[in-house]
Amino acid sequence: MHRVASFQSGALAHLTAAHLREHGVMAGVIDATMSAVTSVMGGSFSQGAYELVIATKRDEERARELLGELKENPPTIDPDWEDDVAPDLSLLDKKHIPNCPGCKWPVSIARPLGPCQRCGTPYDVLEMVFEMHGPEALAPCYETEAPMANLSDEQVCDIAIDCTSCEYPLDGLGVRGNCPECGAYFDRRELFNGLLGH
């Protein structure tokens, strides 16, 4: 895995990785966010970076080209993007689960539109998370499908990747097997899913 860029916004990092994948570069996002809790503010805030990584160094030049293109013409985050697909709130980071505005107990994410089972206050979990933590807090909820799942073995084999132990290029060696150079076992789907955080 090779790091090619880092982002403050997780949503932007995921959009960029998707753009690279659309253009044939296997890319994923590593959430390197450090979170800190401050008792003064009575809440939590997060700071840190989302790292964009690619599967093989051989794609680095192409990746930088695509990043350059994106810089000229940056992707925009549609303010209504959360309406497009229903997010899977069970994937929400635990630290982003909001408290009921009425009784201050953590809300039940199984009831995203309330009302609170304890005090009956209505709420909208999505709206609260969005307002408190921004769209990037919701990004994991939209990344439900492993992007490799729908690809045929042939398509998976067409994506360039190197041995994780010795960096030998595994071109033309099938979905899984052993590295001819160092003998390490590889499974392309697992490698890719690991890269993408699944």
User: CB under 5 A: which stretch of 52-60, 151-159, 177-185, 189-197 binds Zn ion?
Assistant: 177-185
Closest among 188, 195, 193 to 155, alpha carbons compared: 188
Task: Rule CB under 5 A: choose which of 64, 103, 131, 153 binds Zn ion.
Answer: 103
- Under rule CB under 5 A, residue 118 binds Zn ion: yes
- Under rule CB under 5 A, residue 113 binds Zn ion: no
Q: Which is nearer to Zn ion, 85 or 182 (CB)?
A: 182
Task: Rule CB under 5 A: choose which of 145, 153, 171, 181 binds Zn ion.
Answer: 181
- Under rule CB under 5 A, residue 163 binds Zn ion: yes
Radius of gyration of the chain (CA): 20
* Residues ≥6 apart with Cβ < 8 Å to 161: 26, 55, 56, 169, 170, 188, 191, 192
Encoding tokens for residue 128? 């609260």
User: CB under 5 A: which stretch of 30-38, 63-71, 128-136, 179-187 binds Zn ion?
Assistant: 179-187
- Under rule CB under 5 A, residue 125 binds Zn ion: no
Centroid of chain to Cα 198: 9
Task: Rule CB under 5 A: choose which of 125, 179, 191, 195 binds Zn ion.
Answer: 179
Rounded Cα–Cα distance for residues 163 and 174 (Å): 13
Q: Which is nearer to Zn ion, 70 or 97 (CB)?
A: 97
- Under rule CB under 5 A, residue 20 binds Zn ion: no
Least distance from C-beta 138 to Zn ion, angstroms?
22
Bridge partners, residue 177, by sequence: 186
Q: Which is nearer to Zn ion, 78 or 181 (CB)?
A: 181
Task: Rule CB under 5 A: choose which of 58, 157, 168, 176 binds Zn ion.
Answer: 168
Size of interface with Zn ion, in residues (CB under 5 A): 15
- Under rule CB under 5 A, residue 111 binds Zn ion: no
Q: Taken in order 63, 66, 71, 75, is the CA torsion positive or negative?
A: negative
Residues engaged in binding Zn ion (CB under 5 A): 100, 102-103, 116, 118-119, 121, 163, 165-166, 168, 179, 181-182, 184
